[in-house]
Structures are given as structure tokens and as C-alpha cells.
Structure 1
Amino acid sequence: MRIVSAQELEDWLASGEVLERDARGPKVVALENGLFLKIFHTRRQRWLARLRPAASRFAYNAERLRQVGVQAPEITDLLWLDRQAGLSACIYRPLPGESIEQLYRQAPQKAQQLIPSLANFVYRLHRRGVYFRSLHLGNILLLPDGEHGLIDVLDLQFKRHPLSSWRVQRNFAHLKHYLRRRKLTDFPLDSLIAHYQDCAVHEIRRS
């Protein structure tokens, strides 16, 4: 991982566009060259953040997803912003497209047409053993080719087998909580779950 000077980081923040921030500062910055800078403000103990930096875990997860056929950001550089504090970052090539949440807020009726393909995408993730605890509409993109991809991939695990029904239920419970928190309670979650269940039935019939 490359160590970034304070001046280099300041130049990026001054010339780029901050797309996401929280109380601790910028989280995602669009750079002038078209790449994105993602900063990980860790809540872990400093020694643990140094041992397993969030930027490395993000890059690992993105690569594993691509290996199982799921489109994810392509990381071009791993960075230490403050190694002593465990503050890491990465530069990546963003996926083209819009999040399902953006599409739904812009045109709810049109976005509902995506429910079958979205359900199939989530089902394929679960069958491949991908447990994405933060799976929600803001993390899933609709790509120009009509496929779906994932963007914020830090908080996921890869299981050796398809997810259990218990983990599937937890994933949908998290999504329901997200919709409530984001005031998207009119999103057709029941329809999404029904299509998801149809995917499972069709797979059983094929086997």
C-alpha cells in the first residue's frame, strides 16, 4: 500500500468533487481523471485497522465478486492516508450506471419493471454464497447492459455454500429496515421477495 502525503490528499480534495461524506469527513471523491477516491474512516482499534486495512478488504471483496461473475469496482491503487491511525483509502474505476434507489426515486413505476431482474440478481448472490449484510438499493446498480453490479462491497462475506434460509431472511430484514430508514416504504418489497422465491422454485424444477 502506498503512503499518501498530506499535500497529495489535499490536492485531490481541492480538485475533486466530494460525492459522499459523514461527520468524520469526505468518504467518496470523484477525481479529475474520472477515478474515485474512497476513504475508510475505521471504527476499529488502530492496531486491527493497521493489520487488516479496510481498503485491502474492499479490494479483495471486489476481486472475489468479479471471480464469481458479479460486476464490482476495479481497484487501481491502495493507499495509507495515516498508517499510524489505520486510515486507509483506495482509488477505483467506478461502475457505470445508476443505483436502484436513484431509479426508483426518479420514476417509481418504471423502476418496478426491474423487480424480476433484481430478484434474480439477489438470488444468484445468495446461491454463490455471497452474504452482503449491507445489501440495499443504494448499493446495487443497474448497468448499461441491463445487468446489475455492486459498489460498496466492504461489508460482505463469502460462504462455501449457498446461504441458509436464516441468512436470507436476515438479508431481507436488513433491506426492509433500510427502506424504512430511507423513507421508501412504498417500494414493492413483497413483490421482490415473491420473485426471489420464484427463482428458487424454477431452480428446483430444473434440477
Structure 2
Amino acid sequence: MRIVSAQQLEEWLGNGRVLEKDGRGPKVVALNDGHFLKIFHTRRHPLLARLQPAARRFSCNAGQLAQRGIRTPQVIETFWLDRQSGLSGCLYHPLPGISVEQLYRQTPQQIDELLPALADFIRHLHERGVYFRSLHLGNIIRMPDGQFGLIDILDLRCRQGALSAWQVRRNLAHLRRYLERRKLTDFPLDALYELYRHPAHSQASSTVLTASSKSK
């Protein structure tokens, strides 16, 4: 990976719009050319961060998701921002759409229509061996064509076969804890679980909802 100069980074930060940051600084920046800059702050030892740069893991995860037919940001380039400390970054094409969490906060009464498709999407991930420890409503994007995709995919592992029952339970439990932290305990999570466990029910619900929407 090339090393980005301090001047280039300053230019990106100065001209871009910071979308996400924490106590360590900007994390995601929207650039004027439509690309996003993602900065991977790390608490790992610098040696480990240099051996396994977060930007490269992010890019590899994006590639593995694409191979499985799962939409995610398209990485353009990975680079070092400070190789000595292990600070890396990347440029990527953002995934168009809005997060499921944003949709729910804006129009909670419409979430029931999305539940069958959302359950199918999560099941699709698990059947294709995607274990996303940070799976939550803020990282699932509803795109303009009605499909779902994933963002913020650093904390993700892909395996050859489907996830085990234990991994599925752990992943779904993480989703429940996330809703509790975000004070979204009124989200119909139990209904989502039921649709996840019974695909035929999910498809039937989707058909009923589609027919209902067409009749209006």
C-alpha cells in the first residue's frame, strides 16, 4: 500500500464533509468527487496493525461479500496514513440508500412491510457463511432498488459453509443488544426472528404485502 502524504490527508479533511468521527478523529469523510474516505483508527499494537492493516481487511471483506452476491461499498484503493503507528485508510464508492435504522426512526409504521425481505436478507448472509459481528440496523442499507446491502464491514468473517446454529443465535443476540443500546426496544424483533426461522411464512407475508400494496 502506498503512503498518503500529510498534505493529501489535510486536503481531504479540509474539503470533505465528516460523516462519522470519534474521540480519535474523523472516521468517514465524504469527498467532493463522490468517493468516501474511511480512516481506520486502531487500538492494536503498531506491529500487528502493520502486519494486518485494517484497510486491507476491509477491502478483502468487500471482495468476499461481492463473490457471494452481497452488495457492499466498492473499494477503490487502500493506503497508509501513518505506517509507523499502523493507521490505514481507503477510498471507496459508497453504497446508495438509507440504513434500516434511519428508515425505522423516520417511518416506524412502515417497518412491517420490510420485515419479510429483511429476514430473508439476514438468512441469506448466514446461509452463505457470513458472520458479521456488527450486524445491526445501522449497518444494513436499504437501496433505491429495494434490495439490502452491508456497510462498515471490517468486523466480518466469511466461511465456506453456512453458519452453525450457535453462530446464528449469537449473531441475532447481538442485534437485540444493539436495539437495547439504541433505545429501539419497540422494534418488532420477535416478528423478524419468526420470519427468519420460517422462510415459507416470510415469502407468504411478502406476497400478501405486495398484493395489498397493489390494491391500494
* Shorter-chain TM band: over 0.9
> CA contact under 8 A between 2:18 and 2:28: conserved in structure 1?
yes
Partner SS, residue 123 of structure 1: helix
2:8 equivalent in structure 1:
8
2:212 equivalent in structure 1:
none
Q: Aligned-pair distance for 1:111?
A: 2.3
Equivalent residue runs for 1:83-98 within 5 Å: 83-98=83-98
Amino acid at match of 1:13: L
In 2, Cα distance between equivalents of 1:202 and 1:183? 26
Q: Aligned-pair distance for 1:79?
A: 1.2
> CA contact under 8 A between 1:132 and 1:157: conserved in structure 2?
yes
Q: CA 1:202–1:102 in structure 2 vs 1: closer, same or farther (change >3 Å)?
A: closer
Partner SS, residue 131 of structure 2: strand
> CA contact under 8 A between 1:133 and 1:156: conserved in structure 2?
yes
Q: Aligned-pair distance for 1:26?
A: 0.2
Amino acid at match of 2:165: S
Are 2:104 and 1:69 equivalent residues in the alignment? no
In 1, Cα distance between equivalents of 2:183 and 2:112? 17
Q: Aligned-pair distance for 1:112?
A: 2.5
In 1, Cα distance between equivalents of 2:164 and 2:200? 13
In 1, Cα distance between equivalents of 2:132 and 2:197? 18
Amino acid at match of 1:92: Y
1:160 equivalent in structure 2:
160
Q: CA 1:108–1:202 in structure 2 vs 1: closer, same or farther (change >3 Å)?
A: closer
2:99 equivalent in structure 1:
99
Q: CA 1:139–1:202 in structure 2 vs 1: closer, same or farther (change >3 Å)?
A: closer
2:188 equivalent in structure 1:
188
Q: CA 1:161–1:201 in structure 2 vs 1: closer, same or farther (change >3 Å)?
A: farther
Aligned length: 203
Q: Aligned-pair distance for 1:199?
A: 1.8
> CA contact under 8 A between 2:195 and 2:201: conserved in structure 1?
no
1:198 equivalent in structure 2:
198
In 2, Cα distance between equivalents of 1:199 and 1:63? 28
- Structure 2: tracts of 5 or more residues without a match: 204-216
Residues 108-156 of structure 1 show CA distances to partners (whole Å, capped at 9, x for unaligned) of 0112211110000000100000000100000000011111000111101
1:19 equivalent in structure 2:
19
In 2, Cα distance between equivalents of 1:180 and 1:103? 17
Partner SS, residue 198 of structure 2: helix
Identical positions, percent: 62
Q: CA 1:19–1:174 in structure 2 vs 1: closer, same or farther (change >3 Å)?
A: same
Q: Aligned-pair distance for 1:202?
A: 8.6
Equivalent residue runs for 1:100-115 within 5 Å: 100-115=100-115
- Structure 1: tracts of 5 or more residues without a match: none
2:177 equivalent in structure 1:
177
Partner SS, residue 114 of structure 1: helix
Amino acid at match of 2:175: L
In 2, Cα distance between equivalents of 1:114 and 1:168? 21
In 2, Cα distance between equivalents of 1:31 and 1:202? 40
> CA contact under 8 A between 2:62 and 2:72: conserved in structure 1?
yes
Q: CA 1:200–1:78 in structure 2 vs 1: closer, same or farther (change >3 Å)?
A: farther
1:48 equivalent in structure 2:
48
Partner SS, residue 85 of structure 1: coil
1:34 equivalent in structure 2:
34
Residues 40-91 of structure 1 show CA distances to partners (whole Å, capped at 9, x for unaligned) of 0011111011001000000000011011100010011111000000000000
Partner SS, residue 113 of structure 1: helix
In 1, Cα distance between equivalents of 2:78 and 2:158? 22
> CA contact under 8 A between 2:119 and 2:202: conserved in structure 1?
no
